[in-house]
Amino acid sequence: MSIPYYDCIAHHAMRQPGSLAAVDLSTERRHSYRALDERIARLAGSLRSQWDIAAGDRVAVLAPNSTDTFEVQLACGRIGAIFVPLNWRLAGPELHAILGDCAPALLIHDAEFADRARDLARGCGITRMVALGPEFERMALDGPALDQPMAATLDDVSTILYTSGTTGRPKGAIITHGMNFWNTVHSISLAGVGRSSVFLGLLPLFHTGGLNVFAYPVFQAGGTVMIMRSFDPGEALRLIGDPSVGVTHLFGVPANFQFMAQHPGFRETDMSRLVFAGVGGAPTPDAILRTWQDQGAVLQQGYGMTETSPLVLVLDRQDAVRKAGSAGKPVLHGQTRVVGDDGADVAPRAVGELWVKGPHVTQGYWNQPEVTEAAFSDGWLHTGDAALVDDEGFYFIVDRWKDMYISGGENVYPAEVENVLYQHEQIAEAAVIGVTDARWGQVGRAIVVVKPGCELSEDAVIGHCAANLARYKLPQSVVFTEALPRNATGKVHKPTLRRSFGES
């Protein structure tokens, strides 16, 4: 039997209508659950009657973060339409490929992106468009309220999320209501999400982190979601430290925490109200964890991916200091294995590929049965990540398999070398790639950004690594640059680094 999908905003509008549901920080709009429910009902009614959107149709959104994006997702849920948030940092041809793949019936865009949206719509044969701002507000405030939401189940598709940093044909992960539901169960049990949670959203809403860690779970629980238009380290610190805002939950990629730690306001920020400060999405250097600990905030690592909506592993607070560097242990309703090349589980402490199975895992990729088939064995999703489990059952994400290189026959995981580079007090940002070498096959190259006012030589960087790492792991060359290339979520974009600095 399929479990029905229930709308959490309608539920809390009935249970606690006056409670604050959503805050759009850039426009200072604040919506109670009653008001948010009303807006979503009118949007859903407008989508159906004004724009003729039917169940199964895709509705794409091209916009920086705002509470409007959630309203579109939830309105789509009420009429059975599929929400597709777009990475607005992508170039025209990339967005063109995504829109060609999902063929939306409607494109909703920020006024700022009107020209791009028009070009894309023309190129992709999209005839219906709505601009955020007055046109969208008319739908949300004056549209015909949908009185009867469509009956849906947890197996129905909620969203298509195109995965970040891909090359070639875009891959749209199919996200069901059920995947989001199970992620909520895990967020409530492992991150203490509840009705009194105040979540500050830093990550983009076209990414699973922005949508699901912890915005959607907080709506499910009846708490408050605050959304930044784009990440601003100083403003984030101000909000975290302000007792009248009362932020309890936070989640970011390592770069968010690193940039906040480098901000002049960091040392004055009172972190004492944070219930859960989560970090994940990329390898987290120990130095970042320590800096935040010193400021009274224990960062708890989590691991996940778009295809798992996303929580797979979470490190509990009581273990966060003792097991710093671990991504924790598996969530309750999910299974994990660490598998070798032969498809069998590796021995404890050995490195293998992490595989995941469970109700939080995607059915596959939109329009791509072959890619879906290649990603799974017997229902187990191959994550593409190298991991190991220690004697106490703690998981460590070693790195992406694809980022590993082999030097003189030995596997080198760049994340381990980067971890050491971040311990150097004059280094602001660091990344390591493998480059071809006549003698060793491949050797490491460090790409380093030094802190403002500091000067560092190649020898000093390599010398620092030599004091902390085995010889074969030492970078053989160092390139100094102004800033590392990052994707829209803030993760270092290794393909760009390899293109720019990968020549031997």
DSSP β-ladder status, 58-62 and 29-32? unpaired
- The CA distance from 5 to 294, in Å, is 43
Task: Quote the tokens at residue 292.
Answer: 């935040």
Backbone φ and ψ for 292, nearest 5 degrees, come out as: -70, -40
Please name which of 170, 154, 8 lies closest in space to residue 74, comparing C-alpha atoms. Answer: 8
Of the CA atoms within 13 Å of residue 368, those in its CB half-sphere come to 20
For ligand AMP, the binding residue among 85, 149, 223, 281 (CB under 6 A) is 281
- Smallest distance from the beta carbon of 489 to ligand AMP, in angstroms? 6
SS3 281: coil
Q: Which of 65, 269, 306, 407 binds ligand AMP (CB under 6 A)?
A: 306
**Which one of residues 34, 290, 382, 400 is an interface residue with ligand AMP (CB under 6 A)?**
400
Report how many residues bind ligand AMP under the rule CB under 6 A. Answer: 19
Q: Is 34 in the site for ligand AMP (CB under 6 A)?
A: no
Query: Which residues, at least 6 apart from 376, have a Cβ–Cβ distance to it below 8 Å?
Result: 364, 382
Please pick, from the candidates 32, 163, 295, 335, the single residue that binds ligand AMP as defined by CB under 6 A.
Answer: 163
Decide whether 9 or 161 has the Cβ nearer to ligand AMP. 161
Of 21, 72, 152, 397, the residue at the interface with ligand AMP (CB under 6 A) is 397
291 is an interface residue for ligand AMP by CB under 6 A:
no
Binding mask 251-280 for ligand AMP (x = CB under 6 A): -----------------------------x
> Which range of residues in 140-148, 240-248, 380-388, 457-465 is near ligand AMP by CB under 6 A?
380-388
383: contact with ligand AMP by CB under 6 A: yes
Tokens 């906040």 correspond to 260
206 binds ligand AMP (CB under 6 A): no
Q: Which stretch binds ligand AMP (CB under 6 A): 23-31, 238-246, 301-309, 374-382?
A: 301-309
Q: Following DSSP, what letter does each residue of 301-317 receive, concatenated?
A: EEEE-GGGSSEEEE--G
Phi, psi of 250 (to 5 degrees): -155, 140
Phi, psi at 496, each rounded to 5°: -65, -40
Q: Which of 126, 191, 305, 430 binds ligand AMP (CB under 6 A)?
A: 305
Interaction pattern, residues 325-344, with ligand AMP; x per rule: CB under 6 A: --x-----------------
* CA pair distance 469, 478, nearest whole angstrom: 16
Tokens of 345: 């589980």
